Amino acid sequence: MPTPNSDRTVAIVLAGGVGTRVGLGLPKQLIRIAGKAIVEHTLERLDRNPNIDAVLVMMNAAAIHELDPLKASGRFTKLLDILPGGETRNDSTRLALEALGDEDCKVLLHDAVRPFVDDRIIDECVAALDEFDAVDTAIPSADTIIEVDRDSVITGIPPRSTLRRGQTPQGFRLSVIRRAYEIAADDPGFAATDDCGVVFTYLPDVPIKVVQGTAQNMKVTEPLDLHIADKIFQLQSEAVNAPDAPPIDLTGRSIVVLGGSYGIGASIVEKARRAGARVHAFSRSTTRTDVTSRRSIRAALRAAAKDGPIDAVVLTAGMLSIAQLVRTPKARLRQTIEVNLLAPAEVAQEAHPYLAASGGHLLFFTSSSYTRGRAGYGLYSATKAGVVNLTQALADEWAQDGISVNCLNPQRTRTPMRAAAFGEEPHTTLLDPDTVAAASLRVLDSDFTGQVIDVRVGHPETAPR
**pLDDT, tens digit, for every residue of 342-372?**
999 999 999 999 999 999 999 999 887 777 7
Beta strand 452-455 with 404-410 is parallel
Whole-prediction pTM: 0.73
Q: What is the mean pLDDT of residues 385-405?
A: 90
pLDDT at residue 240, as a whole number: 65
pLDDT interval class at 71 (50, 70, 90): confident
* pLDDT of residue 153 exceeding 50: yes
pLDDT at residue 251, as a whole number: 94
Q: What is the mean pLDDT of residues 73-87?
A: 89
Residue 262's nearest CA partner among 420, 455, 433 is 433
pLDDT at residue 450, as a whole number: 87
Domain boundaries, the chain: 9-221, 236-455
Chain mean pLDDT for the chain: 87
pLDDT interval class at 210 (50, 70, 90): very high
* pLDDT of residue 72 exceeding 80: no
* pLDDT of residue 377 exceeding 80: no
pLDDT at residue 386, as a whole number: 93
User: How many CB atoms neighbour CB 390 within 10 A?
Assistant: 18
Contacts of 254 (CB under 8 A, 6+ apart): 277, 278, 279, 280, 304, 307, 308, 309, 310, 311, 312
pLDDT interval class at 58 (50, 70, 90): very high
The answer to whether residues 262 and 416 touch, using CB atoms and an 8 Å cutoff, is yes
Quote the percentage of the chain above a pLDDT of 90.
58
Beta strand 106-111 with 164-173 is antiparallel
User: How many CB atoms neighbour CB 137 within 10 A?
Assistant: 28
Q: What is the mean pLDDT of residues 165-173?
A: 97
Topology, domain 236-455: Rossmann fold (3.40.50)
* pLDDT of residue 341 exceeding 80: yes
pLDDT at residue 464, as a whole number: 30
* pLDDT of residue 378 exceeding 90: no
pLDDT at residue 368, as a whole number: 78
Distance between CA atoms of 465 and 453, rounded to whole angstroms? 20
* pLDDT of residue 303 exceeding 70: yes
Q: What is the mean pLDDT of residues 84-92?
A: 91
pLDDT interval class at 459 (50, 70, 90): very low
Q: What is the mean pLDDT of residues 441-464?
A: 72
Does 378 or 81 have the greater pLDDT score?
A: 81
* pLDDT of residue 400 exceeding 90: no
pLDDT at residue 111, as a whole number: 96
pLDDT interval class at 439 (50, 70, 90): confident
pLDDT at residue 463, as a whole number: 36
Q: Which of 34-43, 253-262, 289-298, 404-413 has the lowest mean pLDDT?
A: 404-413
pLDDT interval class at 317 (50, 70, 90): confident
Topology, domain 9-221: Spore Coat Polysaccharide Biosynthesis Protein SpsA; Chain A (3.90.550)
- Give the pLDDT confidence of 211-267 residue by residue, as tens digits: 999 999 999 988 888 888 888 877 766 666 666 667 789 999 999 999 988 788 899
Q: What is the mean pLDDT of residues 176-189?
A: 94
Q: What is the mean pLDDT of residues 171-181?
A: 97
* pLDDT of residue 285 exceeding 50: yes
Distance between CA atoms of 85 and 64, rounded to whole angstroms? 9
Angle at 453 between CA 448 and CA 456, to 5 degrees: 150
Helix (H, G, I), strand (E, B) or coil at 108: strand
Pick the most confident of 27-41, 295-309, 324-338: 295-309
Beta strand 54-59 with 9-15 is parallel
pLDDT at residue 202, as a whole number: 96
